């Protein structure tokens, strides 16, 4: 089969490899679509998080079950999405049902082969069936949309009264966070790239180029992760407002603790997602057209190395790029 294999940082090759087989308790899945994520670009640039090279990246995956290994019960032909998390399963956090807090967590496409391939084998416990009729080009958003659903749940837990919400950064995660909030929320997305801003507006979102100090949000989602973005998010909050950390940062952030203290702000980390995949798929299936606008480019596996290099260099003002293997329908 054809797969995109990362041999080292900045060395992604599309090549023929032996197809995987479904071991006991595993499913062999024929990939219909896999999303290109900011973390894929980070891994491409640095080789970070990869435990063995070469590895097939891609952790936002949907496909159809082609075969079931011994003991696996999912019927061939079932469309599924993959849980991207590979937690240790035994630490106190894992046992308490918070695998996203596992100190030893790894991810699909980094510690095992992911979805930039025609086929992949995954544990049956790591798949979630897709609601009937939901197109693969929307179902492929389940993983990043679950990140947005988790952030929404965290907001509802810590600030259930929040109505005026800012989203800093209008990439795919920022867009999905904004789209996933209830319709009663007044959401404004800050995005400086004009091409992205147009796509966000076309998706029905309120867009601005910045959330100014004095914006007085009840909550601001940091989906940008640039140096200083946490302080910017806090400055855009009203006193008592909360900053939801959704994006990974590339280094430590500097904060004025007295601003935090005097404004009685809170900061809540939101790491990937917990068990929100089924509810996320239900949300996608309830309004697929709303979410379909996030997918703005479709490429084949052969184009992927060029697409990743271009995106890592800051090119392309789109939202989510998905890979549809040549021959997948």
Nearer to Zn ion, 85 or 265 (CB): 85
Give yes or no for residue 37 binding Zn ion (CB under 5 A).
Answer: yes
Contact segment (CB under 5 A) with Zn ion among 35-43, 157-165, 240-248, 268-276 equals: 35-43
Q: Is 111 in the site for Zn ion (CB under 5 A)?
A: no
Within a 13 Å sphere around the CA of 228, how many CA atoms are in the beta-carbon half?
1
C-alpha torsion angle, residues 278, 271, 209, 317 (rounded to 10): -70
Residue 102 binds Zn ion, judged by CB under 5 A: yes
Rank residues 79 and 85 by Cβ distance to Zn ion and give the closer one.
85
Which residue stretch of 81-89, 118-126, 184-192, 308-316 sits at the interface with Zn ion (rule: CB under 5 A)? 81-89
Assess 260 for contact with Zn ion (CB under 5 A). no
Could you tell me if 64 and 119 are in contact, meaning their C-beta atoms sit under 8 angstroms apart?
no
Does 91 sit near Zn ion (CB under 5 A)? yes
Q: How far is CA 198 from CA 76, 119, 148, 289, 296, in A?
A: 41, 35, 21, 17, 12
Among 88, 255, 260, 285, binds Zn ion (CB under 5 A): 88
The smaller minimum CB distance to Zn ion, of residues 98 and 216, is found at 98
Of positions 87, 169, 172, 225, contacts Zn ion by CB under 5 A: 87
Smallest distance, Zn ion to C-beta of residue 111, A:
13
Nearer to Zn ion, 50 or 102 (CB): 102
Q: What burial class does residue 276 get, using C-beta atoms within 10 Å of its C-beta: 0-12 exposed, 13-18 middle, 19+ buried?
A: buried
The residues of the shown chain that bind Zn ion, judged by CB under 5 A, are 37, 87-88, 91, 94, 102
């Amino acid at each position: 089969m054809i797969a995109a294999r990362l041999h080292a940082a900045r060395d992604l090759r599309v090549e023929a490899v032996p197809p995987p087989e479904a071991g006991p308790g595993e499913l062999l899945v024929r990939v219909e679509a896999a999303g290109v994520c900011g973390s894929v670009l980070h891994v491409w640039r640095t080789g970070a998080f990869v435990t063995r090279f070469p590895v097939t990246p891609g952790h936002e995956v949907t496909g159809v079950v082609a075969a079931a290994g011994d003991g696996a019960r999912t019927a061939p032909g079932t469309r599924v999405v993959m849980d991207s998390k590979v937690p240790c399963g035994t630490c106190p956090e894992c046992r308490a049902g918070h695998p996203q807090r596992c100190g030893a967590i790894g991810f699909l496409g980094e510690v095992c082969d992911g979805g930039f391939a025609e086929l992949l084998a995954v544990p049956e416990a790591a798949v979630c069936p897709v609601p009937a009729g939901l197109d693969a080009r929307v179902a492929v958003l389940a993983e990043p949309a679950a990140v947005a659903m988790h952030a929404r749940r965290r907001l509802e837990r810590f600030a259930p009264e929040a109505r005026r919400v800012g989203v800093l950064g209008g990439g795919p995660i920022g867009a999905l966070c904004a789209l996933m909030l209830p319709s009663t929320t007044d959401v404004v997305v800050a995005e400086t790239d004009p091409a992205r801003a147009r796509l966000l507006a076309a998706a029905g979102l309120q867009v601005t180029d910045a959330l100014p100090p004095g914006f007085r949000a009840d909550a601001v989602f940091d989906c940008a992760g640039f140096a200083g973005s946490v302080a910017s998010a806090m400055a855009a909050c009203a006193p008592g407002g909360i900053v939801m950390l959704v994006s990974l940062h590339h280094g430590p952030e500097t904060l004025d603790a007295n601003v935090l203290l005097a404004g009685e702000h809170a900061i809540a980390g939101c790491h990937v997602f917990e068990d929100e995949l089924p509810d996320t798929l239900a949300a996608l299936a309830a309004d697929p057209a709303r979410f379909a606008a996030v997918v703005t480019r479709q490429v084949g596996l052969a184009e992927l190395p060029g697409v990743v290099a271009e995106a890592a260099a800051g090119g392309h003002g789109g939202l989510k790029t998905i890979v549809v293997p040549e021959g997948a329908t």
